[in-house]
Amino acid sequence: MCKLIIKDEVNIKLEGLPLEVRRKLSNAFKYEIPYARYMPRYKLGRWDGTTTLFGVGGNGYVNQLEKILQILSDHGIDVEEVEDRRQPIKINFSKVAEDFWGNKVWPKGHRFEGQPIRLRDDQVEVINKFLETPQCLQEIATGFGKTITTATLSKVCEPYGRTITIVPNKSLVEQTEEDYIMEIEKN
């Protein structure tokens, strides 16, 4: 009998698996550390230079479940019991309207300097879609106004904690920070 315990949003544990199946799972998620050959443990022959994302004790990650279940199926093992220990998260976002920023105006130096900050209909639609389904992905065109969109999303999420905005290079990090400061903090 195999029991799957979902500990939280990231971690899982499989109980009741034979050791050889746990070893196969561990090997399936094993990878080499590229810089291992420079480490003393490797040089002394005490370590093979690999690490695994699934422990022989049965600990793994939720995002591995598809591959784990396939390996279990290949060995004729079914998960007979699932214990989900995740706590439900109650987050209710209110819909955003074009006047979300109220009476705030674009700061000096912005191309719309002095005008009220108003979201366009397409920006409102995208923001509300993210708020409806927080784990969704959306493809947004160049020039859409992604900075004001992400700034709005960050502001909406502020009561629940911090947010992170990821951009592809350092110059965009600096540009996005400047825009956030210009658009949000100076008002």
For residue 166, the 8-state DSSP code is: -
What dihedral do alpha carbons 14, 20, 25, 26 form, nearest 10°? Answer: 100
Residues 69 and 158 grouped into a single domain:
no
Same structural domain for residues 57 and 70? Answer: yes
Bridge partners for 6 per DSSP = 12, 84
CATH number at residue 48: 3.30.780.20
Longest CA–CA span in the chain (Å) reads 69
- Is 99 in contact with 125 (CB distance < 8 Å)? no
* 136 and 187 fall within a common domain: yes
Q: Give the percent of the chain with pLDDT over 70.
A: 96
Q: Please give the single-letter amino acid code of residue 186.
A: K
186 and 114 fall within a common domain = yes
DSSP code for 57: T
Q: Are residues 105 and 169 in the same domain?
A: yes
The answer on 101 and 12 residing in a single domain is: no
From 64, 84, 104, the end of a domain falls on 84
Confidence of residue 187 (pLDDT cuts 50, 70, 90): very low
Whether the per-residue pLDDT at 11 is higher than 70: the answer is: yes
Residue (of 8, 143, 137) closest to 63 by Cα position: 8
* pTM metric for this prediction: 0.57
**Alpha-carbon gap, residue 101 to 111, rounded angstroms:** 17
Distances (CA, A) of 141 to 113, 138, 145, 154: 24, 10, 9, 20
64 vs 147, more confident: 64
pLDDT of residue 185: 52
Residues 15 and 32 in one domain: yes
Same domain flag for 115 and 56:
no
**What's residue 52's pLDDT?**
93
Final residue of a structural domain among 68, 84, 100: 84
Decide if 128 contacts 96 (C-beta within 8 A). Answer: yes
Say yes or no: 113 and 172 in one domain: yes
Range of the domain at 149: 89-187
Last residue of a domain, one of 45, 60, 84: 84
Nearest residue to 133 (alpha-carbon basis) of 105, 93, 74, 83:
93
Q: Report the alpha-carbon distance of residue 61 to residue 59 in Å, rounded.
A: 7
First to last CA, the chain: 60
pLDDT in tens, 125-142: 999 999 988 878 888 888
Q: What is the pLDDT of residues 167-186, one digit of tens each?
A: 888 888 887 777 777 655 54
Q: Into how many domains does the chain fold?
A: 2
Would you say 49 and 14 are in contact if contact means Cβ atoms under 8 Å apart?
no
Q: Are residues 120 and 62 in the same domain?
A: no
Same domain, 166 and 140: yes
